Amino acid sequence: MSEIATKSELLLDTVKRRERDEKIIEVDEEKIKVVIFRAGSRCYAFYGRNIREILTPREIAWAPGLPDYLPGLINVRGDIESVIDLRAFLGEERADCAQCHIAIAVADDFISGILVDVVEDVVDIPASGIKPVIAGLPDAVRELVAGEFEHGGETVVLLDLAKLAAKVTVR
């Protein structure tokens, strides 16, 4: 019996090795949880680690002296939180507060509700799927962006909560 591998055996061995390597890559690739939501005409997302909960539409109490992007405050089981109308920064038409869900967003010592039209999905995506934004966004939105990725045939703009916090926090 010949000890020399045939061409087919060599090819098969190569194919199997490549398949094994691909599986290892799939297992090891970092996944990132994101919360995808709609605000106006586009889909956006925050990192899942930044979203503590999603509240159903509810009354937002008005307070005097606030800028347009702060419609007021809400009571979350006894804790009083501010609410941000994200659309003010996204170049989208202003939200109807009474219809919007509210995402409670946290990053370090920042916490606030953020108006979203509706939460579309909560998914784990491969880190490599997040690409830099190439074009098509106004400069004001780019300031808040961490990247973009494809989901369900649509481009989702991934927002960086820390950048939003820096923009809205008055020292």
Residues that bind other proteins (CB under 8 A): 61-67, 70, 73, 75, 78-82, 84, 109-112, 168-170
C-beta closer to other proteins: residue 125 or 165: 165
Cβ of residue 112: shortest distance to other proteins, in angstroms?
A: 5
The number of beta carbons lying within 10 Å of the beta carbon of residue 88 is: 18
Closest CB to other proteins among residues 30, 109: 109
Which one, of 75, 76, 100, 79, lies nearest residue 88 by Cα?
A: 100
Map tokens 């991934």 to a residue: 158
Task: State how far the alpha carbon of 53 is from the alpha carbons of 25, 65, 112, 122, 125, in Å.
Answer: 32, 28, 11, 12, 19
Contact call for residues 80 and 127 (beta carbons, < 8 A)? no
Of 116, 123, 127, residue with least CA distance to 86: 116
Q: How far is the CB of 161 from other proteins (least distance, A)?
A: 13
Nearer to other proteins, 82 or 133 (CB): 82
Closest separation in Å from C-beta 134 to other proteins = 32
Q: Which of 132, 124, 134 is nearest to 158 (CA)?
A: 132
Cβ nearer to other proteins, comparing 65 with 153: 65
In whole angstroms, the minimum distance from the beta carbon of 62 to other proteins comes to 5
